[in-house]
Amino acid sequence: MGPSETVNLAVLEKFYLDRLARFSRLSAEAESSGVEQWRRLALRTTLSAYRDCIAAGLEVRAREILGGNSGEPTPA
């Protein structure tokens, strides 16, 4: 793997983890909103981002992110 591929991989990993953190925060907000459609959509986006992290080999870090939020989704 060349230097540019290493940089691209690091950027992609950061993107996946940041995306998961953002969706997880939105999911926690949606939980307290009482709007069922928003709650379901936020949970699905969080789960999708979590699965992307797993596919990229970032499961441990993804679980750390989800563990920091009270609205933690249960991975299927």
* Domain definitions of the chain by residue range: 3-67
Model confidence pLDDT, tens digit, residues 16-52: 999 999 999 999 999 999 999 999 999 999 999 999 9
- Judged on CB neighbours under 10 Å (0-12, 13-18, 19+), 28 is middle
Residue with tokens 């959509």: 41
Residue 24 confidence (pLDDT): 97
Cα separation, 13 vs 74, in Å, equals 22
pTM: 0.79
Model confidence pLDDT, tens digit, residues 55-69: 999 999 999 999 975
Cα separation, 15 vs 59, in Å, equals 14
